[in-house]
Chain A
Amino acid sequence: MESKEFKNPVVSWIDHRLPIFSFLNHEANEYPTPKNLNYFWNFGSLAGIALVIMIVTGITLAMSYTAHTDYAFDSVERIMRDVNHGWLIRYIHMNGASFFFIVVFIHIFRGLYYGSYKAPRELLWMLGVLILLLMMATAFMGYVLPWGQMSFWGATVITNLFSAIPLVGENIVIWLWGGFSVDNPTLNRFFALHYLLPFVIVGVVVLHLVALHRFGSNNPLGIDTRGPQDTLPFHPYYTIKDFFGLSVFLTFFAAAVFFVPNMMGHPDNYIPANALQTPAHIVPEWYFLPFYAILRAVPDKLGGVLAMFGAIAVLFVLPWLDRSPIRSARFRPIFKIFFWLLFIDCLVLGYIGAMPAEGIYVLIGRLATVWYFAHFLIILPVLSVIETPRPLPQSISQPIFSAAGGGLAGAMSAPKEKVE
């Protein structure tokens, strides 16, 4: 990285000794970005902003929260009623978790559709799956903190998953609990870890970005950029586009926080935890529902747990399951159909996860689970062999030139000349 001359002498002086400004200029200003990105490329930066929102509201909540079984529930109620703006901060944190997952799920489906997990971005993709896992652990432990009925029983059911491990399972669960049931030691350590993990996520996000900037963003055509005619500098083109996306996102987010703050929560979590009574129908937070459906689809305890973790494990190895060299679904007619079937399948799993495990729901849940795994383990490997892709464009600029002729091409290249 060559250091750059800055007009401001203080900035220059610092940059000469600590090239932080050169670094930022290189990675966030000049950074060449494919010029054909659509709005699905907004969701990465949105996820980053959601993480910052969670950390800021989380730390301010922690200033009034008490991690003890006798006080936790009341301390959250006190945040809601007495602490200045406590209700706002908690509702932002609570709904922020849901919006964070919405954004990340869209971000992941974007990657699936446009083949962003393929070479040379395999590690970038795997780091993303790792972030998803860490987010799930963080959100699960956060949900335990208010110590309501769903907190308690969610924690009980999820920690008990580990008892399915042969031989050492029981010991692992007792170790996780620090006792013989979910109790005060459990709440304390969950708070400690809930505080820690978001910062671990920040670390992995940094690695994710380093891997991203090695080869740059993928794009809707899924072909490599071939030089300056295919890219735009990140600033101002994508900073402004990301800001516009952010304002739309914040509009929805604010609407939820101010008008329906409890829509995505469960009313039972406003009942203090009771170790002697399980709520009639326990459901996890909505973002866990597809995985919960897979857990329940298998009629065997260990099998169910393995299937649930397997659902994430297939994402880790996805770059090696889909061997087709074509990235974008735009040029893969059959893959495109199966992509949408997978998308619907995930919605079905989410719906089944929220329904009681009986009757027709069990059957649908099993079929949807089989389809999920078949998609990754059978359909994708087979498709990579039998599918005939559509012809790829020569370059990112080419389809624009040929489709619209001089007029549009001129309009598209005009701003480019200015910045060069």
Chain B
Amino acid sequence: MAKSKSKTSEMETSQGKSRRDFIVVASYAMGAVGAGAFAWPLIDQMNPAADTLALASIEVDISKIAEGQSITLKWRGKPVFIRHRTADEIRQAQDVDIDGLRHPEGDEIRAQKPEYLVVLGVCTHLGCVPLGQKVGEVRGEYDGWFCPCHGSHYDASGRIRKGPAPTNLEVPPYAFLSDNVIRIG
């Protein structure tokens, strides 16, 4: 060891850096890249697996939902709310001045057809399922949904109006296959 040390000093360059220093740094760098490359699979294995991602989309016949009624479905493990809104509710949802909202979105962007509102039943605060689906449940101060966990109020368009939730109830990707059938996902 002592011998090789003296040898490297002979090989020192003008900046005082030796080839040995270069080899040391290069080995550390390779080691770090290798450790990183091996860590990634260990971290990424926790992301959704292929079969979880492949979860089929669902189709629903909405003709059976009477006006004023709502149904709850399960999609990707989460509740989806479909509400057949009354003329009154539609008017309420459309007449709001969206500039004053926390998350300004017009009702026409949120509902493909004004009669049917499709949203994820997941409070955007911390993920509870808001109340207001069943007849007789509290619907909050804006006649939409009310999240009991920390008191978020959503309106008839699923927009956040009061409480800690930051954004409106999410609208999942969906399409009308016919007048009566929609596909979610």
Residues of A bordering B, CB below 8 Å: 153, 156-161, 163, 174-183, 185, 189, 275-278, 280-282, 296, 299-301, 304, 356-358
Contact = CB atoms under 8 A, between A and B. Distances in A.
A166 to B, nearest CB: 11
B48 A304 contact: no
Contact of A174 (B48, B127, B150, B164): B48
B128 A181 contact: no
B48 A180 contact: yes
Nearest to B44: A175
B82 interface: no
Contacts, number: 80
B74 interface: yes
B49 A304 contact: no
A175 B40 CA distance: 13
30 contacts: A158-B126, A160-B127, A161-B126, A175-B43, A177-B48, A178-B46, A179-B52, A179-B77, A180-B48, A180-B52, A180-B76, A181-B76, A181-B78, A181-B122, A185-B52, A189-B46, A275-B74, A275-B78, A275-B79, A276-B72, A278-B129, A281-B148, A282-B149, A296-B150, A299-B164, A300-B164, A300-B166, A301-B166, A304-B164, A357-B150
A93 B166 CA distance: 38
Nearest to A292: B150
B63 interface: no
A185 B151 contact: no
Nearest to B129: A278
A70 B27 CA distance: 49
B125 A301 contact: yes
B77 A156 contact: no
Contacts of A278: 128-129, 148-149
Contact of B151 (A157, A277, A300, A357): A357
Contacts of A163: 126
B47 A175 contact: yes
Contacts of B43: 175
A304 B166 CA distance: 12
Given A278-B129, A278-B149, 8 more contacts: A157-B126, A163-B126, A178-B52, A180-B48, A181-B78, A280-B148, A301-B125, A358-B151
Nearest to B163: A299
Contacts of B72: 276
Of A177, A278, A282, the most chain B CB neighbours within 10 A belong to A278
Query: Main secondary structure on chain B at its contact with chain A?
Result: loop
Contact of A275 (B52, B77, B148, B149): B77
Contacts of B49: 178, 185
A282 B49 CA distance: 30
B165 interface: yes
A358 B78 CA distance: 27
B128 A178 contact: no
Interface of B: 43, 46-49, 52, 72, 74, 76-79, 121-122, 125-129, 148-151, 164-166
A67 B156 CA distance: 40
A176 B125 contact: no
Contacts of A157: 126-128, 149
Given A160-B126, A300-B164, A301-B125, A179 B76 contact: yes
A214 B151 CA distance: 50
A274 to B, nearest CB: 9
Choose among B125, B126, B128, B165 the residue with the greatest number of A CB atoms under 10 Å from its CB: B126
B78 to A, nearest CB: 5
B48 A301 contact: no
A282 B128 contact: yes
Contacts of A185: 46, 48-49, 52
B94 to A, nearest CB: 28
B76 A176 contact: no
A357 B146 CA distance: 13
A276 B127 CA distance: 11
Given A185-B52, A278-B149, A156 B79 contact: no
B173 to A, nearest CB: 13
Contacts of A301: 125-126, 164-166
Contacts of B148: 278, 280-281, 356
A180 B77 contact: yes
A158 to B, nearest CB: 8
A215 B125 CA distance: 47
Task: Kindly list the 9 A-B residue pairs having the minimum CB-CB distance in the complex, ordered from nearest.
Answer: A181-B77, A160-B127, A180-B76, A160-B126, A278-B128, A157-B126, A278-B129, A156-B127, A179-B52
Contact of B77 (A161, A183, A300): A183
Given A160-B126, A276-B74, A278-B129, A179 B48 contact: yes
B129 A178 contact: no
B128 A153 contact: yes
A81 B129 CA distance: 32
A189 B47 CA distance: 11
Given A178-B49, A180-B77, A156 B126 contact: yes
Contacts of A304: 164
A17 to B, nearest CB: 30
A333 B45 CA distance: 56
Nearest to A305: B126
